[in-house]
Structure 1
Amino acid sequence: MSRVHIDWTACDGRGLCAELLPELLAEDEWGYPVARGDMNVPPALEPAARQAVDRCPALALKLVSARSA
């Protein structure tokens, strides 16, 4: 299982990740992502999580092994 990691130093609060992965991320009032739960990615959400990582304009998201997080 993988887990979504947010690099807060790179994130610029565009909110695209929350739009692409609403099951795991919400948006705060400034557009920054807010975790919904523990950020572990269930197998059914793996494609959506990869799409959010690939489309992050600030390259602030990545998938990491849940064991190493």
Structure 2
Amino acid sequence: MTRISVDTGKCIGAAQCVLTAPTVFDQNDDGFVELLQQAPDGAESRSARMAASVCPAQAITVRE
């Protein structure tokens, strides 16, 4: 099972996660990451892993 966590203190608001996995991540009113799903599966899990890899601030952690 994939588990996602975010470090909002690292987030710079680039929104790459939202563009890559919009069903897993969103942005709050200040433009920083919000986690919508802690344990995505299937295609959402793959998208979440891709989002973690493209995050310029490395604010997303994926655990399998």
**TM-score, L = length of structure 2:** 0.80
Identity %: 25
Residue type of the alignment partner of 1:56:
C
Question: Residue 15 of structure 1 aligns with which residue?
Answer: 15
Taking structure 1 as reference, are residues 9 and 27 closer, same or farther at Cα in structure 2, changes over 3 Å only? closer
Q: TM-score, normalised by structure 1?
A: 0.76
| 3-state secondary structure, aligned to 1:57 | coil
How many aligned positions are there? 64
Q: Which runs of 5+ in 1 are unaligned?
A: none
Following TM superposition, the consecutive aligned residue runs of length 4 or more in structure 1 with deviations greater than 3 angstroms are none
In the other structure, the counterpart of 2:25 is 25
Aligned-partner Cα distance in 2 for 1:10–1:26: 15
Secondary structure at the aligned position of 1:41 is classed as coil
Letter in 1 for 2:55: C
Aligned-residue CA RMSD (Å): 1.5
- The residue aligned with 2:6 is 6
Amino acid at match of 2:7: D
